[in-house]
Amino acid sequence: MRRIIRRAIAVALFPVSVMAGNFFPPEYKAFPFKEGDLLVSKNRHGKFSVNKILRVDRFDFRKGSAISIQGQRFIATEDDYLLIVSAAYGESEFNSFQEASTAAKAGKWKIKLGHIPNRSPGAVEGQTLVGNSLVSEPELIGYRMWREAFDRGEAGIF
């Protein structure tokens, strides 16, 4: 009986939030970091940069709705959702992980790209958590511009 009641509640809540489907891979539905997290990554030339998570949004997609991922348009074949991670990416300006970590905690790093909307796997790759800092309104200017365009179907993600 409890199982039936739980299922009835889940079905009743369905219109509020799309239940997980199989259109997007499972790794698109999880992200280990949160808003404000400061991350350090190393580029292929051995230099380090600081990156900051600005937002982690869940987007529900109904069957038939479209999304542009890396310039390719995908049409959902079933109801599903994914997480979109918005981040600011820093210059590759540090010679060591420790130097980048210290700069991140001190807020002394240069932003190269103020906002990039990404899928979870791309946003997590090669990143190491070193701290957290509140996300300020000015940091969200690029996010808000992208979000308005995304909501109109005029922007995608990487």
Domain presence at residue 104: yes
Query: How many domains does the chain contain in total?
Result: 1
Domain presence at residue 3: no
Domain presence at residue 65: yes
User: 41: domain range?
Assistant: 18-151
Domain presence at residue 13: no
* Strand residue runs (E) in the chain: 37-42, 48-61, 66-69, 72-75, 80-90, 111-119, 128-132
CA separation for the pair 28, 6 (Å, rounded): 26
CA separation for the pair 124, 122 (Å, rounded): 6
Domain presence at residue 4: no
CA separation for the pair 49, 101 (Å, rounded): 9
Domain presence at residue 31: yes
- The one-digit pLDDT tens for each residue of the chain (158 residues) are 433 333 333 333 334 455 779 999 999 999 999 999 999 999 999 999 999 999 999 999 999 999 999 999 999 999 999 999 999 999 999 999 999 999 999 999 999 999 999 999 999 999 999 999 999 999 999 999 999 999 999 999 99
What is the reported pLDDT for 20?
78
**pTM, to two decimals:** 0.86
Domain presence at residue 84: yes
Domain presence at residue 80: yes
Ranges of H-type helices in 14-140: 97-106, 120-124
